[in-house]
Amino acid sequence: MDKHTLAWCDLGTVPYRAAWELQARLVVARRQGLTGDLLLLLEHPPVYTLGRAGRVENLLVPVGWLRGQGAEVFEVDRGGDITFHGPGQLVGYPILDLTAWGRDLHRYLRGLEEVLIRALGAFGIAAGRKSGYTGVWVRDRKIAAIGVKLNSGWVSSHGFALNVSTDLRWFDYIIPCGIRGYGVTSLSAELGRRIPREAAIGPVVDAFGQVFGRPPVPVDPSSLADLLKDPALAAG
Per-residue pLDDT tens for 146-158? 999 999 999 999 9
- pLDDT of 87 > 70? The answer is yes
Residue 187 lies in a domain: yes
Query: Per the domain annotation, does 235 fall within a domain?
Result: no
Catalytic choice (1, 115, 116, 177): 177
Instruction: List the beta bridge partners of residue 43.
Output: 13
Q: Is 177 a catalytic residue?
A: yes
Give a yes or no: residue 236 inside a domain. no
Quick: pLDDT tens for 53-77. Answer: 878 899 999 999 999 999 999 999 9
Domain total of the chain? 1
Q: Which residues of 187-217 are buried (b: 16+ CB within 10 A; e: fewer)?
A: bbbbeeeebebebbbebbbebbbebbebebb
> 93 by DSSP, 3-state: which?
strand
CATH number at residue 101: 3.30.930.10
First and final CA of the chain: distance in angstroms? 19
Instruction: Let me know: does 187 contact 195? Beta carbons within 8 Å.
Output: yes
Range of the domain at 81: 6-230
